Structure 1
Amino acid sequence: MRSLLAFLALALTASAATAQVGPPTSQRSCSANRQLVLKDGSVVLDTGPMTYARFVRSGAECLVDQFPGPAWVPSSNNPQCFIGYRCKDGSDDF
């Protein structure tokens, strides 16, 4: 029974990690990248060699103490494609 649970946990982890793998943003058009974020609400994308980032549709996908900041990525047809937002940590220091 324990080995079955371990196998199921491993299978779920592997499938979740596989779902995030895709071509870099630079190999998709700007609108295709933007549509991924709009459709899923929150997505981790490959932004370059060994570089990944999480992008969100709105601040609703950020944690309570975070705020959305505009995000741009390189795309196949635009070196600075507005893709949505990245959640940034808030600061109480003014």
Structure 2
Amino acid sequence: MRAISLTILAALIAFQSGSAFAQGRPNSTAMTCAQAAGLVSARGAVVMSTGPMTYDRYVASRAFCTQTEITVPDWVATRDSNACFVGYRCRETTRSFRG
């Protein structure tokens, strides 16, 4: 009986893992502006498709970037807007050294 229970548990875990891998990235063009911005706000950081062959990582704040990165605001196309502010992208800072 214990072996059957463990087999069922293993199958359920494998099914859950497989379905997670099958999910694609959220697509901004399939969402409203409020949905896309809300997703970034709720998760803090999201890799989102912005077109058939394009994607980027959007963050709610600099807390989701590395220490050497800054945030730059970004707008994406959504179902109801051509320029929807969804949050920020992390970008490396550029430092100029003067000698």
Give the ranges of 4+ consecutive aligned residues of structure 1 lying more than 6 Å apart after TM superposition.
none
> Is the alpha carbon distance of 1:31 and 1:92 closer, same or farther for their aligned partners in structure 2, counting shifts above 3 Å?
same
RMSD: 2.2
The partner residue of 1:69 within 72, 81, 92 is 72
TM-score, normalization by structure 2: 0.73
SS in 2 for 1:79: strand
1:34 paired with 2:32, answer no
CA deviation after TM superposition for structure 1 residue 26, in Å: 1.1
Structure 1 residues without counterparts, runs of 5 or longer: 1-7
Q: Name the SS of the counterpart of 1:83 in structure 2.
A: strand
Structure having the higher Rg: 2
Deviation track 1:61-83 (CA, whole Å, cap 9, x = no partner) reads: 00110000001000111100000
What TM-score, normalized to structure 1? 0.77
Q: How does 1:9-48 map to 2 (within 5 A)?
A: 15=20, 17-19=21-23, 21-48=24-51
Post-superposition CA distance 1:15-67 (Å, at most 9, x none): 3x445x24521111000000000000000001111211100000010011000
Give the distance between the partners of 2:67 and 2:26, measured in 1 at CA: 31
Aligned length: 83
**1:86 to 1:13, Cα distance in 2 relative to 1, 3 A:** farther
Measured in 2, the distance between the counterparts of 1:18 and 1:60 equals: 29
Give identity over the alignment, percent. Answer: 34
Partner residue of 2:59?
56
Distance of 2:26 and 2:43 partners within structure 1: 16
Unaligned runs of 5+ in 2: 1-12
